[in-house]
Chains A and B, each alone.
Chain A
Amino acid sequence: DVKVTQSSRYLVKRTGEKVFLECVQDMDHENMFWYRQDPGLGLRLIYFSYDVKMKEKGDIPEGYSVSREKKERFSLILESASTNQTSMYLCASSLTSGRREQFFGPGTRLTVL
């Protein structure tokens, strides 16, 4: 079974802090994704990566950066957390070819005070 894990289920940070959210997948997937989910707004894509050190902006990249130094790990970075980044963050992965089924991690509920 594909397994996608995220470093924290719940996280509380203060405004201005630098925040790292980590995601690891164990199925050798090329693609990895970061989404945020807010009530009434559905899932919105922040960034995705199709290979090591490669990244593309999604729909709402402002205020975020990402890092992919190893194939299995994709990090989301909030350089200076703000209260409007309080949200549920979901990581996902998929293959690049063939059956491109997307698998999700358990999510991280981030609260910025």
Chain B
Amino acid sequence: GIQVEQSPPDLILQEGANSTLRCNFSDSVNNLQWFHQNPWGQLINLFYIPSGTKQNGRLSATTVATERYSLLYISSSQTTDSGVYFCAAHKYNFNKFYFGSGTKLNVKP
């Protein structure tokens, strides 16, 4: 399988601050996703980013597939950004997705 490691495990920010979350994976992958788990438990899709850089509002993500890592940037954080962020990797010859253990973000007003 694929080992997926996320860092940091916990992060506390003041509202308005910027942050970078990291996801390392142990093998080459064909797919890489970032999710935000909201307070009600649902995983919301943020980015589908097997390689390159994408931006969506205050969030952006970069995957460097050759170096086996992905970064999620949150700028001008808001209290609604609080929750757990997961990355998940997938490789075509495996049927399953491999999840990291998540980064728990707490944005304080």
Contacts and interface: CB of A to CB of B under 8 A. Distances in A.
A74 interface: no
Interface string B79-109: 0000000101010000111011110000000
B60 interface: no
A67 to B, nearest CB: 18
Contacts, number: 49
Contacts of B33: 101-102
Contact of A31 (B35, B48, B95): B95
B41 interface: yes
A102 B41 contact: no
B61 to A, nearest CB: 13
A106 B42 contact: yes
Interface residues of A, number: 25
Report which residue of B41, B96, B99 has the largest number of chain A beta carbons within 10 angstroms of its beta carbon. B41
Given A88-B41, A90-B43, A104 B35 contact: yes
Chain A interface helix/strand/loop/mixed: strand
Contacts of B41: 37, 88, 90, 106-107, 109
Interface in A26-55: 31, 33, 37, 42-43, 45, 48, 50
Interface of A: 9, 31, 33, 37, 42-43, 45, 48, 50, 56, 58, 88, 90, 92, 94, 99-107, 109
